[in-house]
Amino acid sequence: MLKEQIKSTKVYYKIGSHEWLTYFGLPIALIFQGIFGCSFYLRDTTSIKADNFLRVGIPVLIVGILTYWWQSKRLNFKKLSLNQDLEEFKRLAREIFIEYNWQIENDNKNFMVASSQKKLFSSDMIVLKFGKKEIQWNLLEHPWTHNSGAALLGLKLEGKKVLKKIKSIA
């Protein structure tokens, strides 16, 4: 994960990028499917089947927009108060990632990004952004897994377990 993708309040994927397509793939597909269905209605409104396209197209479009909005909200960082020295927290967080066999992808003075590598088509990713008295964090599906379904519906059980341990050391 590059520095450009970590903003002050959220993880940001540039529209049209590989990461954006992976993360928002299902909502985008639903939006296009809804638009496509509604366009059949507009092409021939006098047909008997035209109403069926509209009855299916509008709900699919609405579900697509709502899931896109929900996915966007999930990119926002959550906050965690830091009750110890930042360098000590970073050291302990690194140890936790190593203990659970996570790969640390980025580790600098501003943020740390680590991901699990245990599943073939799914990989949890934790982003820790450092402040003076707080840690901002996010748990996401790694964009390079090419799995939009896991990004939308994944349980992230491994990530939640590691994150719980990290929260306990703050």
Residue spans of the domains in the chain: they are 18-73, 77-169
Question: Dihedral of CA 165/73/125/12: which sign?
Answer: negative
Strand partners, 22: none
- In percent, the amount of the chain with pLDDT more than 90 equals 45
Indicate if the pLDDT at residue 55 is higher than 90.
Answer: no
Task: Give the torsion through C-alpha atoms of 166, 69, 51, 42, to 10 deg.
Answer: -140
58: Cα within 13 Å, side-chain hemisphere:
7
pLDDT of 4 reads 60
Find the mean pLDDT for residues 79-99.
92
Q: Indicate the pLDDT class of residue 119, thresholds 50, 70 and 90.
A: low
pLDDT band for 19, please (50, 70, 90 cuts).
Answer: confident
Q: How far apart are CA 113 and CA 129, in angstroms?
A: 9
pTM, two decimal places: 0.83
Per the prediction, the chain carries an average pLDDT of 86
Best CA proximity match to 140, nearest among 92, 65, 93, 73: 73
Q: Average pLDDT in the 96-121 region? A: 86
Q: Give the CA angle between residues 151, 152, 156 to the nearest 5°.
A: 60
Q: What is the pLDDT of residue 9?
A: 82
| Closest listed residue to residue 40, CA positions, set 63, 57, 60 | 57
The conformational region for residue 137 under phi > 0 = left, psi -120 to 50 = alpha, else beta, is beta
**Mean pLDDT to the nearest integer, 42-66:** 84
Averaged pLDDT for residues 102-125: 84
Between CA 15 and CA 19 the distance in angstroms is 9
Structurally, what CATH architecture does the domain formed by 77-169 represent? Answer: 2-Layer Sandwich (3.30)
pLDDT of amino acid 54:
81
The pLDDT assigned to 128 comes to 94
The CA-atom distances, in angstroms, between 143 and each of 87, 130, 161 are: 28, 22, 20
DSSP conformational letter for 5: G
pLDDT at 162: 92
Asked whether residue 3 carries a pLDDT value surpassing 80, the answer given is: no
In the prediction, which pLDDT does 44 show? 75
- Locate 165 and state its tokens: 């341990």
User: Given pLDDT bands bounded at 50, 70 and 90, which one contains residue 33?
Assistant: very high
